[in-house]
Amino acid sequence: MRILQLSFLVLFLTACGGGSHDSSTVTDNTSNSSDSSDTNNSNDQNSDNSQDSTDTHTNTANENNSNDDYAASITVTPKIAAKLLTQATFGPSETAIDHLVSQNNLSAWVDQQISLPVSLSQPYVEANSNGSLKSTRHHIWWKNILEGNDQLRQRVAFALSQIFVISDRDYELSNSQYAVTNYYDMLAKNAFGNYRELLEKVTLHPTMGIYLGMVRNQKANPGLRIRPDENYAREVLQLFSIGLYELNNRGEALPAGNPIPTYTQKTIEDFAKVFTGWNFADSAGIWVSNGLTTYDKRIPMVADDDTPTGESFHDTSAKTLLNGFQLASSANSATATEDDLKAALDNIFNHPNVGPFFGKLLIQQLTTSNPSPEYIERVAITFNDNGQGIRGDLGAVIKAILLDKEAINGKAENPNFGKVKEPLLQLSQLWRAFDVQPGAGVTDGVYRLYDKADEGLDEVFGQAILKAPSIFNFYSPDNLLSSNSGLFAPEMQIMTEANIASIHNALRTQIYAFNNQNNDGWDIASRINIDKPIQLASNSSALVNYLDKLLLAGELSNAKKTIITNHLNTINDNTERAQEAIFLIIASAQFMVQE
Amino acid sequence: MTKRKYINNASRRSFLKNIGVFPFLKYTPLLSGTILGSALSSSASADCNQQQSLVCVFLLGGADSYNFVVPGGSAYNEYATTRGNMAVSRENLLSSNDAVQGAFGFNKRLPGLHDLYQNERLAVVSNVGNLIRPTTKSDFNASKSLPQSLFAHDAQQKLWQTGSGNLADSFGWGGSIAQRITECNSSSTIATSISTAGSNKWLNNLQQNYISLNPNADIVQMRGLSPSSSTKNTLEALLNESKAEQGSFFKQQVAHAITRADNTANGLSDAIRDNPVADFSPTGRLEQQLHLVARMISAREQLNMGKQIFFVGLGGWDTHSNQNERLVPLMTELNSALTSFQASIDRMGKADNVTTFTASDFGRTLTSNGDGTDHGWGGHSLVMGGAVKGGQIYGGFPSFAASNNPDDAGDDDNFAGRIIPTTAVAQLGATLADWMGITRAEQEVMLPNLANFNQKNLGFMK
């Protein structure tokens, strides 16, 4: 019985994720800015060419990963190419599939992707938004993920944005669009760096300081009967790094049914003490509520001892952290606030859970919702040591995830392999497969789904970049495929009846009305190019095979091919045939799943 | 998975095997048909002649409900000392009374709820939360029978919704009630359980999927599957192919979800259009959801639904920072949405068979972290409707003492104020399940901790 599978579900709420060090040397143009709030302008370059440290990562990954040997032995077929491109990019194009087939080296492709410079969002947003206008960061995000060469980096940044969650649904972030954009770019720059550095950048980013309340967090004041805010302390442990229960490298919380908690309430209270004494970088001495004040929220938070009482707000008392680690009193140190934070982040980083916990979250984001314990273990081992004695090398971890035999061979390795395609990726895949172009009537180069390009899209898809309903993201890693299923299907949480219907209608309109053969109607709507499908349409079977390769990684069964082909053969017009074929595939269950 | 879980599943399964035919299989197929044979449902005691709707309003993030309702008299001074800058001042309270607790106040941001209380149409269930068995401070200090992962949002939310102390249990008591009354809807094409706040555990059950509606968008038909569409038959053939695809659970379930979405849109679009409930014009997020719920309640006859279970939600309650500012719009919206909804139900003449209650991940610390509060445990729930014995507080207030507090799960040195619940979610659930006509034996299956509490029914329903 399926329900019995519940009994071996490992019951840990994996959440969390990963990160990496800022290996990318991309200069953070804004970090020197002293302008107030989100009103600064930085350069216009949309892509940064410096890439030294990413090269370093490529090398470490190469030398370490035993997957390389396996991946090198693989002959890259169109099917294998399309699968990897579905997992690692915002959707395959025919050109990309053909290129990967002729390159015939999955590992080299990943290395190349890791080495590409990052496509930034911030310059565009600063040039086009006043800091409150929310649409621009969505515009540039779509442009980058549709056009950018750094597909893997953007895909991983998207994954990280759903692990280290901030959201501008929060009222204090909604007017901080430069800062929210800066946060996304930070994730993209650090996508292949080291987890420890990423964790520190996440911790000290002012948007996170606001979102989880660490900014201006003060030590206990018995007179006022106040004590430190526990919010960041709790979520950094539960969601960003180690999770609720002790795990082995296979991601199993043992003993099953009575797992061992990773921390207690007392641990949270001590971490809360660690995270005291930090302020916005350009507002030293101001410790009022951060409510509506305007500070430059792109600059990392700083330790600020300039307090109204003349006494540091950092709690310097001794603290007991994870696994009994004793952090001695820092009362005599001039750099207590920074030192305690670094020691605490080291303590988290070195917890054995991070590899399996964070590794599984990344696996779930990229390749499969229910990885085998062996797959998790292989990824965790790479996290623990990239082969050169370095822990937390995210470039190596990503490579280990994508080139694992389970990722490449799917169901042949694990019968439960696969995942539901998240809604935004359904649109991006359709658009990228058919070389979408902004509507002829637009002057801003913005991609629009009929008239929607930003705020409106999440009403259709239930999802938009950095716009989750809470720190728990759009969906939970342990959301069940169905009530009685033993399988996880995180993305299914937002494939609700309402969203399925709205996505169905939106994509249908895109295919039938907004293609390059149909010039009626909205000239601001982006158009897909269906020349190639029309060209093939006189042969229904050739058309279906082409779409199968492009949209379904060659997974369409013969029975389904026959159903579609028979339908197409009843249509005389080639354009109509092409549209109908694309729609039938896009609206099918098969397209909404990647296996 | 625990042994306990096995026992629960086994007992649920054996229970399920003994009951009748499940009428919704025709449109809410489950995973690969493996358990369909053992179909199910419906309680011998559910009275299908009495229409009923139960509405759970979940305040996501952990609402500081200790500031919804505030003790009076000498307890107020303790409350004020302990809460410090989080305390509601006396002048911001609307005075009320309870026969046992004496004078107390509603937050002045909740004037409509105060009125409902005064009119005996709203009750307060005090200091309710996740408990496995009655729990004292010494039990807590000895880690005796505690719910898993106390003080963590998602864990406590899940336990509140499943009524369990064990995270391995995944069936919600709302869904379990629905499963046992679904025979009252046997001629309807709409699921008994409806969420307007997306995925949740409360409506999860073994046999029937709940449906999720989007209150911001019209319920429209899926055009590629509409009867006039050239693609309808072919697309359905493709979906059937996926449903039959052994070894591809993802494709199977997505195909079922697409069909469910299509059936839902087809089944609801007319009824929703015909029941605009125009006397209720929603503005906020919660009001939009409750407006949709009101339309579905108005459409009960048209939809052939005798019983309905709704889950709605309002986020934003995780007020670690700027609590005093942030609670103002949240409470204002809560007050406005609940009172507008109740007024609308009153005008339909259905007040006696619609019951609405609030729930949250947990209550919050009584103490302040400077400008907010942190994760606590017990909190107050509000229950309203014509069938509620309102104007009373059920279960006593906890101690609000700043030191040596017998109800505090923390220690004085950390001024914790994480209050141990004195009433269990299972008791709240059982009281509502009694009202819905669910037998005690069934309640003890769906609320696995209920047996540990002497008083099963808290008495707040007529």
**Tens-digit pLDDT profile for residues B326-353:** 999 999 999 999 999 999 999 999 999 9
- Cβ–Cβ contact A226 with B under 8 A: yes
- Residue B205's pLDDT is 84
Q: Which of A86-90, A280-284, A532-536, B111-115 has the lowest mean pLDDT?
A: A280-284
Cβ distance of A498 and B212 shorter than 8 Å: yes
Kindly tell me if the per-residue pLDDT of A49 is higher than 90. no
* CA distances (Å), origin B255, targets A497, B232, B365: 11, 14, 45
Kindly indicate the confidence band of residue A455, based on its pLDDT and cuts at 50, 70 and 90.
low
Higher local confidence (pLDDT), B402 or A172: B402
End-to-end CA, chain B = 39
Mean pLDDT of chain B: 88
| Confidence at residue A290, expressed as pLDDT on a 0 to 100 scale | 67
Verify whether the Cβ–Cβ distance A584 to B255 is below 8 Å.
Answer: no
In the prediction, which pLDDT does A482 show? 81
Identify the sign of the CA torsion B388, B391, B396, B401. positive
Q: Which domain holds residue B250?
A: 3-104+119-128+146-306+333-369+384-401+434-452
Q: Identify all chain B residues contacting A459, using CB atoms and an 8 Å cutoff.
A: 214, 216-217
Q: Determine, for residues A470 and B374 on separate chains, whether the beta-carbon distance falls below 8 Å.
A: no
| DSSP string for A402-465 | HTSHHHHHGGGT-TT--EEPPHHHHHHHHHHHTT-B--TT-SS----BTTBSSTTHHHHHS--T
Highest mean pLDDT: which range of A19-23, A46-50, A279-283: A279-283
Task: Report the range out of A6-20, A279-293, A415-429, B407-421 with the highest average pLDDT.
Answer: A415-429
Interface test with A, best of B4, B374, B419, B446 (most A CBs within 10 A): B374
pLDDT tops 90 at residue A36 = no
pLDDT at A59 over 80: no
pLDDT tens, residue by residue, B359-417: 999 999 999 999 999 999 999 999 999 999 999 999 999 999 999 999 999 887 778 89
pLDDT at B353: 97
Distance set, CA B331 to CA B68, B218, B314, B401, B446 (Å): 8, 27, 11, 25, 32
d(CA B106, CA A518): 61
What is the band of A30 on the pLDDT scale with cuts at 50, 70, 90? very low
Residue B42 has pLDDT above 80, yes or no: no
More confident of the two residues B4 and A142: A142
Domain count, chain B: 1
Could you tell me if B376 and B362 are in contact, meaning their C-beta atoms sit under 8 angstroms apart? yes
Q: Write down the pLDDT at residue B426.
A: 98
Collapsed DSSP state (helix, strand, coil) of residue B388: strand
DSSP string, A211-222: HTS-TT----BT
Whether B42 maps to a domain, the answer reads yes
The mean pLDDT of A148-165, rounded to a whole number, is: 98
Distance from CA of A595 to the nearest CA of B (A): 9
Tens-place pLDDT, residues A207-254: 999 999 999 999 999 888 999 999 999 999 999 999 999 999 999 999
CB atoms within 10 A of CB B97: 15
The reported pLDDT for the residue numbered B176 is 94
Q: How far apart are CA A274 and CA A318, in angstroms?
A: 10
- The tens digit of pLDDT for each residue in B295-309 reads 999 999 999 999 999
Please report the pLDDT score of residue B45 as a whole number: 58
Question: Which of A419, A484, A495 is closest, CB to CB, to B31?
Answer: A484
- CA-based nearest residue in chain B for residue A263: B149
Taking contacts as CB-CB distances below 8 angstroms, the residues of chain A near B6 are: 7
Give the closest of A230, A500, A583 to B374, CB-based. A230
**In B, which residues are within 8 Å of A588 by CB distance?**
235, 238-239, 242
CB of A534 closer than 8 Å to CB of A575: yes
pLDDT in tens, A357-374: 999 999 999 999 999 999
Residue B199 CA to residue A479 CA, distance in Å, equals 9
Of B22 and A552, the structure prediction assigns the larger pLDDT to: A552
Nearest CA to CA, how far is A563 from chain B (Å)? Answer: 7
pLDDT bin (cut points 50, 70, 90) of residue A24 is: very low
* B323 is a domain residue: no
- How does pLDDT run across B266-290, given as a tens digit for each residue? 989 889 999 999 999 998 899 999 9
* pLDDT at A5 > cutoff 50: no
Instruction: State which H helix or E strand residue A375 sits in.
Output: helix A373-384
Domain-embedded: residue B428: no
Q: Is the pLDDT of residue A288 over 50?
A: yes
**A254: nearest CA partner in chain B:** B1
Of residues A371 and B3, more confidence is placed in: A371
Query: Which residue is listed with tokens 């939809």?
Result: B303
CA A269 to chain centre: 29
- Cβ-based contacts of A482 with chain B (< 8 Å): 30-31, 209, 253, 256
User: What integer pLDDT is reported at residue B72 of this predicted model?
Assistant: 96
Output A19 or A110, whichever has higher pLDDT. A110
In a domain, B291, yes or no: yes
pLDDT above 70: percentage of residues in chain A = 88
Q: Name the DSSP class of B64.
A: -
Q: What is the pLDDT of residues B7-36, one digit of tens each?
A: 233 333 333 333 332 333 222 323 322 232
Query: Rounded mean pLDDT of chain A?
Result: 88
What pLDDT is stored for residue A364 in this prediction? 98
- Answer whether residue B161 shows pLDDT above 90: yes
